[in-house]
């Protein structure tokens, strides 16, 4: 039995298979997720989730952003009732995960990282099976299956067995089966890992659409851009703890201004360039001036306004700048500001496609 099967339970049915109520309507009622002091320690003593207190209002597109091993999957498994919290209060759609796990499971969709696709079945049969398991009304199934096959870019291979699919194709099929019943809250655990950019964009559009219709989405991702593009609010999770929370814009504002990246060809001149920037008086005391692999980076409110003056100061100091760029902060800069470290994004999986659409 897959995790999603167990999340559903054998006889359980969703609350509402046709939920197109819109975000305003969805906002009424208890929060989609409420945790207070949530902790999860594995039997080997690993503290995977530490003191997480979090409220996700209904209708929100919420993201857990963190690197490998940060605790994202563990947190999702607790919320989806697959793991019992070691301590803390956890309510999902108003139901307590410990005392009302069945009601929680009836009210959620869950796409695990591991595929739950049945390789013996075709794409269509996999989605059909999920429709039956989730109780999608019979008269809706054909339309829903076609819609999801199209969304997942699998219409051309709808009647081929999943064992012949590439990793990317299986992932798309998996995503489709998690969404068949349009539950009010969907957990998506790194749903686009391994997908090519085109497929990812297509999934993003679909996620936005279902969120616009009122479905709360709790997404985990290692992709900074994904969280930035999709989420109303992001919890940055590191070593089991939420280290920052806010909208993408709020998080970026914490970085403190814009970022001026300068390239200097000569390795020896980079430290000198950083010194010149610090001593120039062009940037206020909150500014951050760092060496980078190929030059220096200045994060400051006045980065754009005083960038040209810095170029002049560097030229006067006899240094040669080979590249110059002013940009808004990214979430990677947020990580850097919070943790002092860059966060590596997952590389897209190489897709050994059969049928040419991986
Ligand atoms: N069954 C387990 N027993 C013991 N430790 C575990 C178990 N599952 C995960 N861990 C550990 O718990 C921590 C959090 O892991 P988790 O899988 O929740 O992180 P994650 O953010 O989802 O990372 P990933 O993107 O790699 O899945 C890690 O240190 C991991 O090694």
pLDDT at 339: 78
pLDDT at 26: 55
Pocket, ligand 1, Cβ cutoff 6 A: 42, 44, 46, 48, 66, 68-74
Identify whether residues 189 and 268 lie together within a single domain. Answer: no
Domain membership flag for residue 233: yes
Domain membership flag for residue 352: no
Instruction: State how many domains the chain has.
Output: 2
CA 335 / ligand 1 centre spacing (Å): 20
Identify whether residues 35 and 145 lie together within a single domain. Answer: yes
Cα separation of 172 and 156, whole Å? 13
pLDDT tier, 18 (very low <50, low <70, confident <90, very high otherwise): very low
Which ligand 1 atom is the nearest neighbour of the CA of 74? 18
Q: Which domain holds residue 288?
A: 257-328
Residue 8 has pLDDT above 60, yes or no: no
The residue nearest atom 18 of ligand 1, judged by CA position, is 71
Q: What is the pTM of this model?
A: 0.78
CA 109 / ligand 1 centre spacing (Å): 21
pLDDT tens for each residue of 226-278: 999 999 999 999 999 999 999 998 888 888 788 999 999 877 788 899 999 99
pLDDT at 352: 33
Identify whether residues 194 and 270 lie together within a single domain. Answer: no
Strand order in the sheet with 33-41: 47-56, 33-41, 87-92, 95-96
ipTM confidence: 0.97
Q: Which tokens belong to 323? A: 């590249």
Which residue in 285, 309, 310, 282 sits closest to 295, CA to CA?
310
Which ligand 1 atom is the nearest neighbour of the CA of 240? 14
pLDDT tens for each residue of 132-157: 998 899 999 999 999 889 877 899 99
pLDDT at 347: 56
CA 256 / ligand 1 centre spacing (Å): 32
Domain membership flag for residue 167: yes
Which ligand 1 atom is the nearest neighbour of the CA of 189? 22
The residue nearest atom 7 of ligand 1, judged by CA position, is 42
> What's the CATH code of the domain at 281?
3.30.70
CA 190 / ligand 1 centre spacing (Å): 13
End residue of a domain, out of 204, 224, 251: 251
């Amino acid at each position: 039995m897959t995790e999603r099967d167990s999340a559903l339970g054998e006889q359980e049915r969703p609350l509402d298979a046709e939920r197109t109520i819109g975000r305003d309507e969805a906002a009424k009622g208890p929060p989609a997720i409420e945790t207070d002091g949530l902790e999860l320690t594995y039997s080997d003593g690993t503290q995977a989730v530490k003191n997480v207190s979090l409220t996700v209002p209904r209708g929100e597109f919420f993201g857990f952003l963190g690197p490998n091993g940060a605790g994202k999957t563990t947190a999702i498994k607790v919320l989806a009732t697959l793991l019992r919290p070691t301590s803390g209060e956890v309510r999902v759609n108003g139901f307590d995960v410990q005392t009302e796990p069945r009601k929680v499971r009836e009210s959620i969709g869950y796409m695990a990282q591991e595929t739950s696709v049945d390789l013996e079945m075709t794409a269509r049969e996999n989605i059909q099976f999920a429709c039956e398991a989730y109780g999608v009304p019979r008269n809706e199934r054909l339309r829903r299956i076609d819609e999801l096959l199209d969304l997942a870019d699998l219409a051309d291979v709808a009647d081929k067995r999943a064992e012949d699919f590439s990793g990317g194709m299986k992932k798309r099929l998996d995503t489709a089966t998690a969404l068949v019943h349009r539950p009010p809250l969907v957990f998506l655990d790194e749903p686009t890992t391994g997908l090519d950019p085109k497929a990812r964009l297509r999934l993003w559009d679909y996620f936005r659409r279902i969120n616009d219709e009122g479905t709360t989405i709790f997404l985990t991702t290692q992709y900074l851009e994904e969280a930035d593009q999709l989420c109303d609010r992001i919890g940055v999770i590191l070593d089991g703890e939420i280290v920052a929370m806010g909208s993408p814009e709020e998080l970026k504002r914490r970085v403190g201004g814009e970022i001026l990246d300068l390239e200097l060809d000569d390795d020896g001149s980079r430290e000198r360039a950083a010194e010149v920037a610090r001593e120039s008086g062009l940037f206020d005391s909150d500014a951050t001036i760092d060496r980078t692999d190929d030059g220096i980076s200045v994060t400051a409110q006045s980065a754009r306004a005083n960038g040209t003056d810095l170029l002049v100061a560097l030229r006067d100091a006899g240094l040669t700048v080979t590249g110059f760029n002013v940009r808004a902060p990214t979430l990677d800069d947020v990580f850097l500001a919070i943790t002092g470290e860059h966060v590596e994004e997952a590389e897209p999986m190489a897709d050994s496609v059969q049928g040419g659409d991986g």
